[in-house]
Amino acid sequence: MSNRQVFQDEYFTVLVDERRLIVRTVRSEKPFDSLEELDGVFERLGMALDALGRSRYGLLADLRSGPGRNDPEFEAILERLRPLWVNGFRRVGVLVRSTVGLMQIHRHARRDGVPRLISKDEDELLKYLTPDGQG
């Protein structure tokens, strides 16, 4: 993937592959310092994604490095903020490292109604997200 970096903070990096028309958001290993900061984090991420023109791209959300977290307060805030991240893309794929992560993201997808392919296989996701299916 030949990527152009368009955004980075301590939690997310956003890369664009114009050839494949894929935006990749990569979650860092850094845990969120507090629940209060999540609004600002996702607002900045959302603005960076909006500037790209979401509808022409597939989104690959790479969560493999992100720390696992599923406490009720975090889940409630993320349910409210997740649309700033995933809405509006041509297709959405989520790359996870574990079966537990896969199950958690399936739960999110059921709640927010955004169809997505969730997998531990990056090649499968790239094929799904690339318009001609060639990955």
* Coil vs helix vs strand at 61: strand
* φ, ψ of residue 81 in degrees (nearest 5): -95, -20
* Coil vs helix vs strand at 112: helix
Domain-embedded: residue 73: yes
Q: pLDDT at position 106, please?
A: 84
State the residue range of the domain holding 66: 4-129
Check pLDDT > 70 for residue 133: no
Domain count, the chain: 1
Domain-embedded: residue 55: yes
pLDDT digits 0-9 by tens, 86-118: 999 999 999 999 888 888 888 888 888 888 999
Please report, for residues 20, 82, 109, 122, the alpha-carbon distance to residue 1 in angstroms, rounded to integers and kept in the order given: 8, 25, 26, 11
Residue 1 and residue 41 in contact, taking contact as beta carbons nearer than 8 Å: no
Count of residues in the chain:
135
Check pLDDT > 90 for residue 70: no
CATH code of the domain covering residue 28: 3.30.750.24
